[in-house]
Chain A
Amino acid sequence: MAKLTFKTDLCKGCGLCVDACPKHLLRLSPDAINKKGHHPAELTDEAACVGCAFCATMCPDCVIKVER
């Protein structure tokens, strides 16, 4: 069980994290819009996330904090 924290206002909706997640647990929020007008990334299934941090590694803007 791992915990992701998103600094949603820093997210630019580039989607690199979404592709990087081996278990495809991330998506760009279909409805939420952040301060910059992007659809921020979010975790769809917290239980399934093992905290491998692939998403955070691919993120160019240090949006994702990963804790186990």
Chain B
Amino acid sequence: MKGNEAIAEAAIIAGCRHYFGYPITPQTEIAAYMAKRMPKIGGTFLQAESEIAAINMVYGVASTGLRVMTSSSSPGISLKGEGLSYLAGADLPALVVNVQRGGPGLGGIQPSQSDYFQATRSGGHGDFRMIVLAPSSVQEMAELTVKGFELADQYRMTAMILADGTMGQMMEPVALDLDVKPMPEKQWATTGTKMNRPHNIVNSLFLDPAALEQTNFERFERYKFIEENETMYEEYLTDDAEIVIAAFGIAARVSKNAIDEARKQGIKVGMIRPITLWPFPVAPFRKAADKAKAFISVELSMGQMIEDVRLAIDCKAPVTLCNRVGGMIPSPEQVLESIRQTAASLGGAN
């Protein structure tokens, strides 16, 4: 199954019956898949007039408590920025998929990870976060979609799948026997008072600054809890690692090959693969920093996650960047070379 289609099928398995999209490479397969499947299962697929309209349709369905999603690619996600901020301000659960492409501007259509900051720091205006999940296999594209819906509902916020063109276009076997937790009760939803309760209001306007401050404090209490309890990552050969690679998505797959090769050459290198980009897995990096003497951040960007790695280890060890951009993908050889240079620099050191 294609990565994009795995996301779509997993969303349906997770109980999502509403999808709003707009054509943009490299994620249009998600929309096409939903266009075929939703009508067959009593769901709603609608192609919106723009990504802005699509995210606001998501806002509408989310207000009624039903599971809903949209997907796009980098420029489309920029258009959804205001909507993402409104979803956060109104504490609405939703799933948003970004199959990244090279940027900035119209950029390219090849894979990229240059929306890392956009996803983890500035999806839109105001203090808010999104749960950002980074799959690095088609199986994870499916599993993290279900996980995304569950986390979004549990914490009343947006969960974003941050994939890239390769993940979306890649075909791999997928086990779709995903178990889905039941949806929580949503008393706050606007489904009509049925004349038996006061009206619910879904809103992010608080002209009274004290009230607006309070909503921010409460939201950040939830974010703190999420940071402490929902962080996800994978470690690979880090127990004895003197050099640790930080990489997610496609960059992690490339790095694994390079690590195996480097190990053959006697270099003690390992990898920490963040699965949640927010909340960022600080703990494993901090632990690794006790032993490791250097870190390498392998990214398809000009260096964005590298900042989180430095923050996680309080700059205790040097973190170098190994990257390609614009749609170019770092090769295992390039990563191996970066490992060898780092090892050499350490070699000289001790």
Direct contact of A and B (CB under 8 A): no
Q: Which residues in B have some Cβ–Cβ distance to A below 8 Å?
A: none
Q: Which residues in A have some Cβ–Cβ distance to B below 8 Å?
A: none
